[in-house]
Structure 1
Amino acid sequence: MNIPAPRIYARMAFYVGTALAAFLALAVGSVALLASAELASYVQTRQGPLGQEAAAVLAEGGRPALERWLAGTQVPAGATVFVLDAQSRDILGRTMPAYLEGFVRNSVVGPPDEPGSNYRPVRLAPQIIGPDGASYTFLVLPKGITIWGSPAITFGLILAALLVVGTVAWLVAGAFGRPVGELQTAVRQLASGRLEARLPAGITGRRDELGDLARDFNTMADQIVGLLEGRQQLMAELSHELRSPLARLQAAVALAAHRGGLGETERGRIEEELGRLDQVIGDVLRFSRLGSAAEIQRRLVRVGELLADLVRVEQIEATARGCELRLDVRDNPTVVGDPALLRSGLENILRNAIRYSPPGASVEVSARSEGGMALIGIADRGPGVPEAFLQRIFEPYFRAPGSGGPATGTGLGLAIARRVFEAHDGTVAAAARPGGGLLVSARLPLADFA
């Protein structure tokens, strides 16, 4: 089974990916902007002449003069100046940030130079030398910026994250939340009996799973409306079909009462109407039961043998009406289905053809295999059906105007036939026959012996 790619998840992934890219862009931009603003005074101090001034003061007055100079020097607000001895201690006794102590000791101040060695390790801050040969490290640090960044940068990142998350939430709510809400409302409306409930084109036109679901909902709602309307029509037609024989029965009983007993004519009439009532009720039961897949007992069925037996049985009625049945079976196709149901469906079509065939005409029954399907055709030379009604003749109780012929059936024969073939994954259709008459064609999948 081919499962289509989940388009809705691809859309959500696109939103999330776009959100991450936007967040990274905003984060980098905000960090660069805020950091450049906050580090401006630090860079100015580091690149300024303070280090040279400190070296001159140390050379002239030693450490005491350097301490006085450091305590009284105005340093820009964005920077802090430390002067560290060989043990990485500030000469004014100020405490270094704990997270910087190891870094400063190893990479900024560094180990003492080895006597007599011409190698000097790289240090990340300038060194100034006193008159006594003692070396000091001149270290400039940005004020307010830690290893975790500054409060302004943290605030900028949080603001960027909230902006991106809010935008994505708004997009997701508009793209998924609103359609789901409208679908839920439509489902509740339909469940409450509002059969006109449908989803708008804005949702059904989507090209993702929500659009598929919306289209399926509208299709389901249309089918429910069609089923309910069909049931109402079925009940109305059934009432008419039952009322007519009941009225004739009442008339026959009244006539018998008037005469003081049942004569042969009244008895025959009552038996005929009772038989018609039994036929109507039986057809209604068969029609309703065909909606259940559990009623179908599937087995191998040879279509040619089924048609031959059916033609043999119906030949009696065809002879009584003055017409002839002709059977043409090629390949004797085999299908999988319920023999009783298939016989019932084909019997209804064949009887309908016999009923409308004029005396001296022939009804042609054929079967063959083609393209993995069993093709069954029943053709007559009756009055035919107008093209506009060829599809409707399979509806319950529908009679095509101008079709002529005796209206002796229950009006469910072709409707039962259609349900039989659809229950077997087949189809049935009617077409005008060249030269006059009607051709009813049924298609059933061939049995797979592979």
Structure 2
Amino acid sequence: MTIWVLAIFATIQLVSGGALWFYQRSATIDLFEQRLLERAANMAAEIETSLPDLDESALDLIARQELRYPHFERYRVDVLDADGRSVVYPQTRWPETAPDLARRAIAANTHLRAPVVDEDVGFFVSEGASVEAIALPVTGRLGEQLAIVVATSDAFVARQLALTARVLIAGGLVGLIASAISGWLIAGMAVDPFRRLSGVAGQLTPENLDREIVVESPTTEVSALTEELESARERLRSAFAVQERFLSNISHEIKTPIATLLTEAQTINKSELNDEAREFVEVTEDEMRKLGRLVESFLTLTRVREGSGVTRPRRYPANELVMDSLEDCQQMAEQYAVRLNPRLASGEDAMDLSVVGDPALLRTMLNNLIRNAIRFSPKESRVGVVASQDDTTFVVAVDDEGPGIPPEVLEHLFDRFVQSRDEVRRERGHGLGLAIAKGIAELHGGDVVAENRPEGGARFTLTLPIEAADGSGVATDADHRAYEVADADH
């Protein structure tokens, strides 16, 4: 936009500057010719009264008096007869232009002008200037027909035009700089609302569709565009809400059949079955568990998305939350031959350090992070779970020694169904665990961020606001029982 302002200003300046220059040129030349005619006419009147006794000194005196103005710096004046001979000086001092001009003026009985080109006029002509000659008819006392011829340099015109050009160039440069600054400011003010709208639109995700789009601007166009974006956001939010409700309803509907099939599979006496039938029951039982965990993941994610997850907020001792999650994940760590390496928050206030929320959701959140780290850790490696207090925030860092997070996945790691290519190929998990963990953290006023460690592996940092110990009670073991959810893959 700044370039457009500069281009428009430059075009206007060129047109207006060119018009002004031509006008100034025409006005200056007209003024010069008008003054030259006036001065020549005055000299002609005085010469008529002085003839035939006019001599060189008298003519020079008349010329100095009439041509003393700065318009005429250098000049030559003479009086010629009809044959082009000087009646003042002993010999003609003029080039061919002057006698010819005098003869024609006498014959026409009016003043005539002519430029003197490539002829010696007897005085210095500055660079860029030219010589102008004018002849006026004069009648002597005895009735003889004469003509006064004045030749002068138009250096005055050249200086005025050069000054005008310098002023226009200087003004143009100053104007360009001023227009560039003005254009930059105007462009910034005009584009800023659109830039903010673009930023807001770029940040829209299924997780933040509940956030209203508000961009204040006095312009009607920006307000109309803001309303359109807000209307589109509302339509998307409604569509996602319908999708979430459908997913929740379907999950509830198939939860009971899954539980029934799983119970039936578990109650079958496998000792009475042949090998093929036993394998079928075990596979069925395993698949029903996976499907059950997926359904629970959908239901938990729906609760988090609807913001209705914290139905029974309780105080939960922070270190106890970590220990409970470690206990939940210990069996999986043994299966993967990974050692859990915890470090609890320490200090004088560590015993009273608590967070407030739904105990089941809190354990689900931390379980997902730890299980995710276990899954990506090589055998005989360690998963670090380090708890600490940072002012009013409880921080848990979960480190693994795995391959780290691919750059193309890191940006969208907490979106639903996001998995690395390796995990998709192995058909492990569903890509919901990290989305659930982040959603639960945000629901409790916290957050989860992921990064690659310089020494290798990934680090997931959980932050939750701390609740001061106020005797409101600690959740019981029953309250702590978490949902079994599918782990996310990075």
In the superposition, the TM-score normalised over structure 2's length comes to 0.41
In the superposition, the TM-score normalised over structure 1's length comes to 0.45
